[in-house]
Each structure stands twice: as structure tokens, then as C-alpha cells.
């Protein structure tokens, strides 16, 4: 078998195991686990298929606010900013390189009203009243930083660890490492609130140099959630079934004189799996059995909140059914990008996303799913305290806020800090690699020990860097 071959269609045949031999009966037992835990059943095993240590989170929902939400208007109040509004950045502040070169533009006041919320007294602005109600489940991280200064680089890095294209997405790594819990559904699913494509498109959820089977599958809420799921026009279920029977018979005949070729068995199984997916996926996206109360929680019936709310509700249904990694883009196509008209932009973005986000947290919690489902909120970077075009803010990769909840995260925390104007992360600075390492840590994976061999080099998700911020977790 060549190093580049992967049978991803199902468990190995007994004959295949006997032919390979050498690994003993322990390996046969492991194979059983492998086939169950990792429905895509690799013939060439990844570096491991079970967590390195006890996981706190089993699944991830990543709410990606695409375009860059403004930390000093949402989670990171800066009284000094309003005091110095209209002036230039004081000399004592190091000048960052920003996308639009606004380092010397006048500082822009935040017009928000701030209050402390929850038992922990977490600061949240009046733009996120519903999220504010959930802060005791949330760990706010005010000290994130990244290298990508533009959208393409930033979104690419937040997904894959580096601003340049070509590496596997975090979801693909998790899929590779842990596999799926439901072999009839993809392990890594991507949704967008609108039909718009996020910056970089499918590269954000690609498997990079790993086999394509680990990539995210974009799902389209509606009659055909996955591509090519529905029977073509003119093909009845009866005819479809009959065609598959003929196909399997042809394949068995072909296999008869090639019985030691496990790949053929895998291909036959992949058709059985495809058939089951056709049965299961429509049920996944069928929201008709959700109660009115649940739909209310996610903002159904309101044109602002329903699109993202629908994605969030689908995400809950997916994690319930064992999907490992769900990513939802809110504001797909850089809609959080507010170089001008900060107020109008973020008022709209928050109005659309705040209630469904809180609804998701509450729903997961009431169903006991929040304990082992990690929810991540954030964009590719934040925004500058300096103004742009009078009433907007430039990109800020040097200090911004994200939050995590559930999946073993201790809620009611505020981690790290930026400087007095929210420009640079100063305390407990967490680079994207550290954030990814933290996510992997909560899943029971050590970031440097999840290895994929590529071009003779052991590759890992955080490019030999990154330290998990373990204090985020309970206990």
C-alpha cells in the first residue's frame, strides 16, 4: 500500500488485516475501535484516533463573526478612549501597521453604554443584551492577537493557523484526529447565515495537504442540505434501489478475482454509506418537530434574527447527532467590517447575531449539551481605537476579543487585557496558535502531538508553536 492511499469508506476487511499482519491481535481490537470511533475508518491510521487525555469537550461550534467585531464596543470598555476621542494616539503607544494605515487618525469614542453582568460582573456593552445574560457560562478572552492584517489573511489564519493558504483548517485537524460520532453525517460542517461566500471560500474549511475527506462540508439549509444528496429528476426511489443492487452485484463480480484488494471493499461500503446519508440528512435539517418555544429562543419569526438563528438551531441538531465540528459564519462576506459607519454596521450585526447566540447557549445548556460542547465566538481580528473615515474603525490584529463557553470552560471569567485604548494585547496574550491549542486541549488533544506526515515532515495544527491556555478550564 502506498503512503498516499487512504480507504475512507468503512472498516477494513478481515482478510486485509490478516494480510497486513505483524501488528498482533491488539491491533485487531484497536481496529474495531477505530472503525466505530472514526466512521471514515482510515486504513492508514492517523497518529491517534482517541484523545491524548480525558477531553472536556467532545464537539465544537465555532460562531465566526466575519469581518472583525469591535472589541472596545462589545466586551472591552476603555474609558480613556472616550477621554482622548478626537486626539491622536498618544506618543507612548507603539504604532501598529494597519490595513488602511490609520495609525495617526483621531481616536474614535465608543458610544456604548456599559454594564457588568452576571455573578462574575463581566463587562458587556448594550449592543449584546442577550449574550450579556449568559456571561456566567462564558470566558471572555480580551487578549487575542493574530498576524493577518487583511480579511483574507486573517480569516485564513483564524481557520488554518497561518495567513497564507494551503494548511488544513482546525476543523479538518479535529476530524482527522477524532473522526465522527455519526458515520451517516460529515464530521465537519460549515454554514453561512446568507448565501454569500466567506472570504477565501472553501479554502477556510479545506483539508489542505491532508486527504480531502477531512475537509468541511458546506451545508445549505433547505431541501438539499448536502450537494448531490437528492435523487436526480426522473429517478424514483425504486429505480434508485434497483440501480444500487445492480451496481453492488457488478462490483461483487469484479471483486471476486481480486479479493485481497481492500480498496474495492471500501468502495462498495462507501455506496452503502452514501445511501444511509441520503436517509439521515433530510431528517437533520427538518425543523418541523422543534417546538415553538425552541424556535423563539433562536429568533425565528424575526427577519433579522432568523437566518443566523436557523444556523444555530441546525448546529444544535448536528452536535446532538454526533457532528464533531460545526462552524457558522455570521456576516458571511466580511459584513462585520466597519471601516465607516461603525454605529449602523455593528447595530445591525449585533441585532442579527446576539439573540440566536444566547439562544444556542441556553438551549445547549437546558439539554445538558453545553457541558461537552465548546462554543467559540469571534472574528478574524478586532478593530482599532483610531477612527477611519470619521465614523469607522480599521482592522486590529494586535489585540481583540473572543469568547469560549461550555466544553469544560469555566464561565464567568475575563481573561487577559489590552492596553488602555484596546490597541495591543498586553496581559496573557493569546496568539491564534494558542487559541487553537486551547481548543484542542479542551478536546483532549495535545496540539504538538497531533501529527500528519506531509512531504517527509511531521506537521501539526499549530505549526510547532502554540500553548494551550489551560486556566480557561474548570478545576
Partner 1 sequence: MPIRRLSAEQVRDALLAVSGELDFKSGGAGEVADKSTRRSVYRRVMRNSPDEVLHAFDVPDHISHMPQRSVTTTPTQSLLLLNSGWIRARAFALAKRLAKRHPGEVGAQLQSAHELALGRAISAPDRADARAFIEQNSDGSAAADQAALAEYCHVLLNANGFLYVD
Phi and psi at residue 256, to the nearest 5°: -55, -40
467 binds partner 1 (CB under 8 A): no
Nearest alpha-carbon partner for 74 in 26, 25, 129: 129
203 binds partner 1 (CB under 8 A): yes
Given 261, 302, 426, 467, the residue binding partner 1 (CB under 8 A): 261
Cα gap 7→401, rounded to integer Å? 41
What is the CB neighbour count within 10 angstroms for residue 15? 13
Residues in contact with partner 1, shown as a per-residue x/- string from 24 to 63 under the rule CB under 8 A: ----------------x-----------------------
Segment interacting with partner 1, rule: CB under 8 A, options 83-91, 130-138, 238-246, 400-408: 238-246
Segment interacting with partner 1, rule: CB under 8 A, options 113-121, 265-273, 314-322, 396-404: 265-273
85 binds partner 1 (CB under 8 A): no
* Count of residues that bind partner 1 according to CB under 8 A: 61
Given 182, 270, 340, 467, the residue binding partner 1 (CB under 8 A): 270
Kindly state the smallest distance separating residue 261's Cβ from partner 1, in Å: 5
Side-chain-side CA neighbours of residue 39 (13 Å) = 19
What is the CB neighbour count within 10 angstroms for residue 298? 29
* Parallel/antiparallel/unpaired status of strands 188-192 and 413-415: unpaired
Given 17, 93, 114, 271, the residue binding partner 1 (CB under 8 A): 271
333 binds partner 1 (CB under 8 A): no
What would the grid cell of residue 438 be?
486551547
Segment interacting with partner 1, rule: CB under 8 A, options 91-99, 203-211, 333-341, 377-385: 203-211
Site residues for partner 1, window 445-464 (CB under 8 A)?
455
Q: For partner 1, give the closer residue by CB, 2 or 119.
A: 2
Q: What is residue 31's three-state secondary structure?
A: helix
Q: Which residue has the cell 480531502?
A: 212
Partners of 387 in the β-ladder:
393
165 binds partner 1 (CB under 8 A): yes
Integer CA distances (angstroms), 33 to 88, 354, 372, 439, in order: 61, 40, 21, 24
CA dihedral angle for residue 61, residue 65, residue 66, residue 71, rounded to 10 degrees: -140
Given 18, 23, 212, 344, the residue binding partner 1 (CB under 8 A): 212
235 binds partner 1 (CB under 8 A): yes
Kindly state the smallest distance separating residue 378's Cβ from partner 1, in Å: 23
Q: What is residue 101's three-state secondary structure?
A: coil
The 8-class DSSP code of residue 234 comes to T
Cα gap 189→323, rounded to integer Å? 8
| Crossing angle (nearest 10°) for helices 306-320 and 342-366 | 30
Given 241, 243, 367, 471, the residue binding partner 1 (CB under 8 A): 243
Q: Which residues bind partner 1 (CB under 8 A)?
A: 1-9, 40, 165-167, 197, 200-203, 206, 208-213, 217, 226-232, 234-235, 239-240, 242-243, 246-247, 249-251, 253-255, 258, 261, 263-264, 266-268, 270-271, 273-274, 277-278, 455
Amino acid at each position: 500500500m502506498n503512503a498516499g492511499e487512504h480507504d475512507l469508506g468503512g472498516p477494513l476487511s478481515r482478510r486485509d488485516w490478516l494480510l497486513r499482519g505483524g501488528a498482533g491481535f491488539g491491533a485487531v481490537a484497536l481496529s474495531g475501535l477505530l472503525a466505530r470511533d472514526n466512521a471514515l475508518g482510515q486504513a492508514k491510521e492517523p497518529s491517534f484516533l482517541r484523545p491524548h487525555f480525558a477531553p472536556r469537550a467532545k464537539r465544537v461550534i465555532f460562531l465566526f463573526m466575519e469581518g472583525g467585531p469591535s472589541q472596545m464596543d462589545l466586551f472591552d470598555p476603555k474609558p480613556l478612549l472616550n477621554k482622548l476621542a478626537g486626539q491622536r494616539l498618544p506618543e507612548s503607544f507603539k504604532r501598529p501597521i494597519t490595513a488602511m494605515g490609520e495609525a495617526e487618525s483621531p481616536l474614535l469614542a465608543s458610544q456604548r453604554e456599559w454594564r457588568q453582568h452576571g455573578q462574575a460582573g463581566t463587562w458587556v456593552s448594550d449592543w449584546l443584551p442577550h449574550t450579556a445574560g449568559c456571561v456566567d457560562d462564558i470566558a471572555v478572552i480580551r487578549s487575542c492577537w493574530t498576524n493577518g492584517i487583511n480579511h483574507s489573511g486573517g480569516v485564513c489564519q483564524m481557520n488554518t493557523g497561518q495567513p497564507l493558504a494551503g494548511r488544513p483548517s482546525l476543523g479538518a485537524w479535529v476530524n482527522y484526529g477524532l473522526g465522527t460520532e455519526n458515520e451517516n453525517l460529515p464530521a465537519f460542517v460549515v454554514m453561512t447565515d446568507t448565501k454569500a461566500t466567506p472570504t477565501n471560500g472553501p479554502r477556510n474549511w479545506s483539508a489542505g495537504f491532508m486527504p480531502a475527506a477531512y475537509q468541511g462540508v458546506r451545508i445549505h439549509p433547505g431541501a438539499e442540505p448536502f450537494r448531490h444528496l437528492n435523487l436526480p429528476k426522473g429517478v424514483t426511489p425504486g429505480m434508485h434501489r434497483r440501480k444500487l443492487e445492480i451496481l453492488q452485484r457488478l462490483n461483487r463480480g469484479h471483486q471476486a478475482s481480486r479479493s485481497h484488494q481492500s480498496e474495492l471493499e471500501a468502495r462498495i461500503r462507501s455506496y452503502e454509506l452514501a445511501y444511509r446519508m441520503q436517509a439521515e440528512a433530510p431528517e437533520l435539517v427538518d425543523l418541523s418537530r422543534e417546538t415553538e418555544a425552541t424556535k423563539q429562543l433562536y429568533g425565528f419569526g424575526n427577519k433579522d434574527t432568523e437566518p443566523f438563528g436557523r444556523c444555530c438551531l441546525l448546529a444544535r441538531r448536528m452536535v446532538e447527532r454526533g457532528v464533531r465540528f460545526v462552524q457558522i459564519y455570521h456576516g458571511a462576506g466580511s459584513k462585520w467590517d466597519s471601516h465607516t459607519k461603525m454605529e449602523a454596521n455593528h447595530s445591525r450585526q449585533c441585532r442579527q447575531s446576539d439573540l440566536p447566540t444566547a439562544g444556542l447557549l441556553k438551549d445547549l445548556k437546558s439539554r445538558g449539551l453545553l457541558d461537552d460542547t465548546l462554543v467559540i465566538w469571534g472574528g478574524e481580528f478586532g478593530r482599532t481605537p483610531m477612527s477611519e473615515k470619521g465614523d469607522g474603525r480599521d482592522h486590529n490584529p494586535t489585540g481583540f476579543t473572543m469568547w469560549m463557553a461550555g466544553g469544560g470552560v469555566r464561565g464567568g471569567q475575563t481573561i487577559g487585557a489590552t492596553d488602555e485604548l484596546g490597541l495591543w494585547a498586553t496581559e496573557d496574550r493569546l496568539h491564534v496558535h494558542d487559541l487553537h491549542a486551547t481548543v484542542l486541549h479542551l478536546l483532549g488533544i495535545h496540539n504538538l502531538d497531533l501529527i500528519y506526515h506531509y512531504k517527509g515532515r511531521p506537521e501539526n495544527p499549530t505549526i510547532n508553536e502554540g500553548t494551550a491556555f489551560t486556566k480557561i478550564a474548570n478545576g
